Amino acid sequence: MIDTIRIKIELNQLPENYYSFLQSKIIRKRYFTNEFGRTTLICNYENFYITLGLTGLFITGSLTRYVKGNTLETAYKDELFNGLLRLGIDLMIDIMDAKVLRLDIAGNILTKKPVEEYFSILSSFKRTERFRHTNALTYSNSYRKILFYNKIKQLQIKRSQNIDQILKDNNVLRYEYRFCKTNTLQRFLSINDVTVHTIFDNYEKLVNSWVDNYLSIDKSNEPKFFDEKVFDKKGMFYKQLQLEGIKALGGMNMILEMIDISKKKGAFNKYPNQITNIKARLRSLMNNPVLVKISALNEELTSKIMMFGFYATQ
């Protein structure tokens, strides 16, 4: 489940003459000298990007790819842990005490329909900006990022990994949850210094956050056909008419895009709380069991992500 990881080791935690060791260990390397004459060693080891300078040793890369050789397969906790131990031995560092600066939790989901069809059911997510791309959907702010994208198309574009013929003919939806900053991880785990050791001590909690954040995304459900039951409760008929209006305008995601465009034009400057109120009413309408039913796409993707998270922690 852990994909990209970025770690830092302080200079005083490195063995003596480590600069010379790394120079001799890595064949392909380069150097960068800043305006103050300070030199940083830059190199690659396996699929990791490494820099060593006055601020410490930084290592960034996909842990899953290091362990599995690709990012299509799933690497489980023990495999990831042993892979990091092996990396630490190879680079002569105590990697378990390294500080974690970034962490991506990710999984590949086989879907019945083309990946892009599932983007339409994923609506707004609290305190993030939603961006729809050709083969991807992202939610982001300065602290975290959520991505959904077509994994097969991504690999075909990059041509960085061989794709198994069986998988090539399948729909593979990639879902990633990124802790983009150190303090995001610190707040989530309630720990001041998050180390590699901390990550594995809290592995189940991190995987559960991957599931929970997906569940927290508002989903676009399908309006039910007209039913006389809407007359049983005051105001329900008018709510159904509102839902039909949302549908006629292109659905909830189209309404949210209209709101975002209007916001950028300054339409809500006088009453900024209107945005929150409108989204709350939309959310209430789209989750009313009398008026809507869960779409087949929503039901499928939700069950598969929950199952994926369950098995990842066993």
Domain count, the chain: 2
Tokens of residue 204, six digits: 């189940």
Pair (232, 206) in one structural domain: no
Pair (254, 183) in one structural domain: no
Is 147 inside a domain boundary? yes
Which of 150, 153, 198 is CA-nearest to residue 175? Answer: 150
Place of tokens 């709510």: 239
Highest mean pLDDT pick, 25-34, 70-79, 157-166, 251-260: 70-79
Identify the band that residue 299 occupies on the pLDDT scale cut at 50, 70 and 90: very high
Pair (24, 145) in one structural domain: yes
Mean pLDDT, the chain, as a whole number? Answer: 88
Pair (149, 289) in one structural domain: no
Pair (29, 88) in one structural domain: yes
Instruction: Provide the edge-to-edge strand list for the sheet that holds 99-111.
Output: 29-33, 39-45, 48-53, 56-62, 2-9, 99-111, 171-179, 144-150, 136-140, 129-132
For residue 3, the model assigns a pLDDT of 95
Tell me the percentage of the chain whose pLDDT exceeds 90. Answer: 53
Q: Give the model confidence (pLDDT) of 33-77 as tens digits.
A: 888 888 899 999 999 999 999 899 999 999 999 999 999 899 999
Is 310 inside a domain boundary? no
* pLDDT beyond 60 at 168: yes
For residue 232, the model assigns a pLDDT of 72
Tell me the percentage of the chain whose pLDDT exceeds 70. Answer: 95
Pair (212, 238) in one structural domain: no
* pLDDT beyond 60 at 166: no
* pLDDT beyond 60 at 155: yes
For residue 227, the model assigns a pLDDT of 66
Pair (244, 145) in one structural domain: no
Quote the pTM value: 0.83
In whole angstroms, give the CA distance from residue 194 to residue 10: 14
For residue 303, the model assigns a pLDDT of 97
* pLDDT beyond 70 at 122: yes
* pLDDT beyond 80 at 252: no
- Which residues span the domain enclosing 244? 222-293
Is 247 inside a domain boundary? yes
For residue 161, the model assigns a pLDDT of 66
Q: Give the model confidence (pLDDT) of 262-298 as tens digits.
A: 888 888 888 878 888 887 888 777 777 777 788 899 9
Q: What is the mean pLDDT of residues 88-93?
A: 95
In whole angstroms, give the CA distance from residue 152 to residue 302: 21
Q: Give the model confidence (pLDDT) of 215-249 as tens digits.
A: 999 888 777 776 666 677 777 777 777 777 877 77
